[in-house]
Every structure is written in structure tokens, then in C-alpha cells.
Amino acid sequence: MNPPNEPTRTAVRAATVGWKYGAVFIGYYGAVVHGLPGIDKITEVSEMSAQELIATAKAMVAEGKGLLAMDESTPTCNKRFEKVGILQTEETRRSYRELILTTGGLGEFISGVILYDETIRQSRKDATLFVKVITEAGIIPGIKVDTGAKDMAGHPREKITEGLDGLRDRLAEYSQMGARFAKWRAVITIADGIPSRGCIEANAHALARYAALCQEAGLVPIVEPEVLMDGEHPLERCFEVTAEVLRTVFSQLYTQRVALEGMILKPNMVLPGKDCLTQGSVEEVADVTVSCLLRAVPAAVPGIAFLSGGQPCELASARLNAMNLRFKTRMPWALTFSFSRAIQQPALEIWKGQKENAAAAQQALYHRARCNSAARLGRYRIEMENNVDSRAG
Ligand code: 13P
């Protein structure tokens, strides 16, 4: 038999691809609507663990809730302590994390907290493990598992995130310690001539391999490709780069057979560089960010939880609020927060490592969690900032 000519081969390829997509769609539709085989057939996880991944991912972005990132590495945490004059020891880091986790009522607004390797092994002063404290507060514990962004060979000024070696074993240990989700952060820099395609592809590939390993271990992966705010570039440039990065990440997630229903995306908001003279209004940032996400993030993803990236706290809340207010009925995913600095910074500055400041620091943390929860619902108002609730502590 003669080999098929090019048009025939193209038609067969198209039919095969079409069939595969059709089968995936029918599988997903069936799972959701009729209980037919679903995402366990799309990816290599069992039916039970697929359902657990989906349930955890949904709980992480539950109505009115978001994530609290307290996964600063030891050097980053020490740098933040140094800035406000706090001693940099394991005990100060532990007692700061205890302050956060014992804030009364945190579970009203926070669905999950992201821990760091040092923190997941630590306990409250009375020897109760932090993981137990978190779970008892109705919050889901998670863990940062990358080992940091390092200079990328052959790519001056660019970073590649490391941590894949031995990851399967580390995930098994964290899961056994009670973690139910994980986080990996890739860093993309905008400047003259960068980001390069090489940097975007390498980071997207690493994110996808990490995510596949997480799902195999029964942990929901938070996939965090962060386009930094540093620079003078305009909003449009951040839009272009963020869109390219997200498309590349989702292409790699597809190639690595990651079930989108069992993951959370943690992107940057689309912002002008922090040294750009034109900063744009809250509404403009909201519109551009949601347009970018609508074009690049598949509807099967249950939730998007933004990093704050160094934005002032109130602005981060106002921008998230505007997105939820203006696009609520048009977004297929939940849109919430996974902030570190935009939740913690005021509390850290009040605490200063002093016992007598702990109650006021907890109040400040509770206040930011409450404001961001309101923003998750499109109900944040700037007047809320004058009304610090005293229930925490
Ligand atoms: P920021 O909100 O301070 O950007 O931190 C989020 C985070 O988890 C960075 O990986």
C-alpha cells in the first residue's frame, strides 16, 4: 500500500487529535455530569486520589477564602527580620510563625497556609506541631518544595528554579507529615532582551514536572510562574510576557499529563514595572489582568490565587476586588489571593520581635486577611481600612 500523501496524513492527524480532545472532553463532562470515567483516565492517578485532589483544590479556593503564604526561606525571612530590627534565630522565626498561626479567627478568611521545610517541623510553645494547630483551625497545610531560583547557565540576568532531584521522596515525607498541597515558584524577569524563550521553557518544564510528581503523591500543586514587577516597562509589556509564560506553562502541563482540575495557578497580576511613570488605575490593571488570564488559562483550572509581588497591601486588595467585582460572572475559575507580604507585612512591622506587641500584630494580620477575603468576594471598600476588627488574638 502506498503511504498516504501529505493532505491525507494531515487529515488523519487532525482526526486523531480531534478524537483525543473529544475523548478528554467527554471523559471530563461525563465525570462531572454523569459520573462516567473522568480525570483519572486523563492522567495517571487513581479515581480516588483524583477525587481527593479535586476536593482539596476546590477547598483551597472556597468562597470568601484565600491562601496565606508563610513559606519564606530562612534567608528571606532573616532579611525581612533584619529590616525591622528582629533578631535572626530559629527561635524568633518559630515564635513569629506561632504568632501567625494562633491568630484567632484566621480560618474565617484563610483556606490554606504555605509552610517552609523549617516551619513544618516546628511546634507551638506547648509542643503541639504547627500542622496540628493549622488543621484544628480548619485550615489546610501546604509546603513550598522548590529549592530556590538560581542563575541560569547561558542566560545572563535570568533564573531557573531548582529542586526536582529527590522531589518524589520529599513529597512522600511532607504528605506523611500532613501537607495536602505544595508550591513551586519560577521567576521571570523583564528587562532589555529578556525573558528569553530558553528561560521561559526551562521554567515551565520544571513547573510541569513538579506538578506531575505532586499529583502522583496526592498533593495539589500550586503552579507559580512569577513575572517580577522590577523595571520601568509599561503595562502592555507585562501583559505580553505574562501571556507567553502562561501559555508555555499550560502547554507543558498538558505534555506532562497534569490534571488541570487538581491544581491551582498562582500568577502575578499584570502590572506596569514598579519604576514605570504611568502606573494605571485599579480598574485598568483589573481589566488587563483578567483579559490575559481569560486568554491563557483553561477553564478546567478550579482556581487562580495571586501572589502580591511587593504591591502595597491596600492596592493589592483593591485590585483583586476590582477583578471580582467587574468580571464575577465571566470568569470560569475562582479568583483569590495567596499573598505573603500583602498579608503579613503590617503584622511583622508591629511585632518587632516583642511579646508585648503580639496582640496588636495579630489584629493587623486578621485585618489584612479580612480585607482580602472581602476582595475575593468583590466586597472590599477602602473604608474597611479604618475599621480594624479587634477579634483576633
Ligand atoms: P508575595 O505575596 O510577597 O509576593 O509572596 C507570595 C509568594 O508566595 C512568593 O512565592
* Residue 130 Cα to ligand 1 middle (Å): 20
- Please work out whether the CB of residue 339 comes within 6 Å of at least one atom of ligand 1: yes
Looking at 71-156, list the stretches that DSSP marks H as alpha helix, in order from N- to C-terminal side.
Answer: 74-83, 90-101, 117-120, 130-136
Atom of ligand 1 nearest to the CA of 316: 2
CA atoms of 386 and 393, how far apart (whole Å): 19
Q: Is 47 a known active-site residue?
A: no
Q: What are phi and psi of 381, to 5 degrees?
A: -130, 145
* Residue 51 Cα to ligand 1 middle (Å): 28
21: cell is 480532545
State the pLDDT at residue 387.
80
Q: Which of 341, 348, 368 to mutate to test the pocket of ligand 1 (most atoms within 8 A of CB)?
A: 341
Q: Is 83 a known active-site residue?
A: no
- Please work out whether the CB of residue 296 comes within 6 Å of at least one atom of ligand 1: no
* Residue 149 Cα to ligand 1 middle (Å): 14
State the pLDDT at residue 35.
46
* Residue 28 Cα to ligand 1 middle (Å): 32
State the pLDDT at residue 34.
41
- Please give the average pLDDT of every successive group of 10 residues along the chain, which has 393 residues: 40 39 40 48 72 97 98 98 97 98 98 98 98 98 98 98 98 98 98 98 98 98 98 98 98 97 98 96 98 98 98 98 97 98 98 98 98 98 85 60
| 320, 287, 223, 296 alpha-carbon torsion, rounded to 10° | 160
Q: Which of 307, 315, 336 to mutate to test the pocket of ligand 1 (most atoms within 8 A of CB)?
A: 307
DSSP assigned state of 2? P
296 neighbors 252 (Cβ within 8 angstroms): no
Say if strands 155-161 and 149-152 run parallel, antiparallel, or are unpaired: antiparallel
Closest CA to 131 of 175, 163, 191: 175
Atom of ligand 1 nearest to the CA of 339: 2
State the pLDDT at residue 36.
42
State the pLDDT at residue 315.
98
CA atoms of 262 and 260, how far apart (whole Å): 5
